[in-house]
Amino acid sequence: MSEYIDYLKEVFADFGPVGARRMFGGHGLYHEGLMFALVARDALYLKSDGENVHFFEALGLEKFSYEKQGKRYSIAYFQAPDTVYDDPEEAALWARRAYAAALRADALKRRKSRRV
C-alpha cells in the first residue's frame, strides 16, 4: 500500500505536507500532527464532523465502518469523492475541510481534558 500512500501525498501536495502512519491494518494521513484522513481497504476516507458532514452526505459518500465481534461500528470518516484524485484544487479543498474537522476535534478534546 506504500505506493498508494505516496500517490496520496502527491494528490494533497497543494494542501501541504502529509505524513502517514500505519494503524489498524491501514494508514492514518496527518498534517501538522493531526490525522485528517484514513486509508483502509484501498479506499481514502476524510474526517467529518457536524460542520462538514453535509458536504459528504450531499454526494452520497459512504461512511467508514467496520465490524468487531459481530457488531458494526462507524467513525467520523467518509469516503473521499473521486474528484480529489483528478483535480488538485478539489483535493486541497476537501483536505482543508477534513483538517478543519480534525482541528475542531482536537480543540474539544483539549477543553475536556482541562476540565478534569
What is the CATH number for 55?
3.30.1460.30
Strand partners, 74: 65
- For the chain, what is the domain count? 1
Query: Which residue numbers in the chain have pLDDT < 70?
Result: 1, 113-116
The per-residue pLDDT for range 75-95, each reduced to its tens digit, is 999 999 999 999 999 999 999
State pTM to two decimals. Answer: 0.91
In angstroms, the CA 116 to CA 43 distance is: 37
How far apart (Å, rounded) are the C-alpha atoms in residues 103 and 89?
21
Quote the pLDDT of residue 3: 93
pLDDT score, position 115: 65
Residues 23-35 have pLDDT tens digits of: 978 999 999 999 9
User: What pLDDT sits at residue 116?
Assistant: 56
Please name the residue that has the C-alpha cell 454526494: 59
For residue 99, tell me if it sits in a domain.
Answer: yes
Task: Kindly state whether residue 88 falls inside one of the protein's structural domains.
Answer: yes
Range of the domain at 97: 2-111
Instruction: Summarize the chain as % helix, strand, coil (round to 5).
Output: 40, 35, 25
CA dist 103 and 107 (Å) reads 6
Q: For residue 116, is it within any domain?
A: no
